[in-house]
Amino acid sequence: MDKYIISVNSLEDVLPEYRDTPIELLLKYHNLEYPHDTYRHAELLIGMCMDYRKHLNIPNNFAYILRTGGGNLRYSEFKVSYAIAIGGITAIALIGHDNCGMVNLMSKKEKFVQGMVEKAGWDKNMAEDHFTHFVPMFEIGNELDFVLSEAKRIRNRYPKILVAPMFYSMSDKTLSLLKES
155, 131: one domain? no
The count of structural domains within the chain is 2
**Which of 122, 1, 101 minimizes the C-alpha distance to 52?**
101
81, 40: one domain? yes
Residue ranges making up the domain that contains 42: 2-101+141-178
59, 125: one domain? no
121, 146: one domain? no
Q: If DSSP codes are grouped into helix, strand and coil, which group holds residue 63?
A: strand
Rg from Cα positions in the chain: 17
Cα dihedral sign for 33, 177, 46, 139? negative
pLDDT tens digit at each of 181 positions of the chain: 577 899 999 999 999 999 999 999 999 999 999 999 999 999 999 999 898 888 999 999 999 999 998 899 998 999 999 999 999 999 999 999 888 888 888 999 999 999 999 999 999 999 999 999 999 888 888 889 999 999 999 999 999 999 999 999 999 999 999 999 7
Rounded distance, CA 38 to CA 23, Å? 16
Q: pTM of whole model > 0.75?
A: yes
59, 78: one domain? yes
75, 158: one domain? yes
Residues with Cβ within 8 Å of residue 68, at least 6 apart in sequence: 47, 49, 50, 75, 76
21, 89: one domain? yes
What is the pLDDT at residue 68?
A: 93
20, 69: one domain? yes
133, 148: one domain? no
53, 117: one domain? no
